[in-house]
Amino acid sequence: MHEQRLRNTIKLQRAKLNLTQEQLADRVKVSRKTINTIENGKFIPSTVLALQLSHALGVTVEELFGLERSRA
């Protein structure tokens, strides 16, 4: 059976804009820790937060998030 895991490119997209986690957090009105846990795959954001992140970073949601398949 295959397990699907959500991958994200937030750290990469944030780096392209020279934004710190704190600066991105301020843009989307969450804590820096929330950004950190999303970047590290420990927290999956709500649809609303995913849309806010994509808007703040100037990319589509699909560019930020996708499914990775791994063998379970």
Domains and CATH numbers, the chain: 2-71 (1.10.260.40)
Q: Which two tokens stand for residue 52?
A: 């806010």
Which run of H or E residues covers position 3? strand 2-8
Which pLDDT value is given to residue 70?
Answer: 67
What the block records as the tokens of 50 is 């995913």
Task: Write out pLDDT tens, residues 42-63.
Answer: 999 999 999 999 999 999 999 9
Mean local confidence (pLDDT), 27-40: 97
Whether residue 59 contacts residue 12, with contact meaning beta carbons closer than 8 Å, is answered with: no
* pTM for this prediction: 0.87
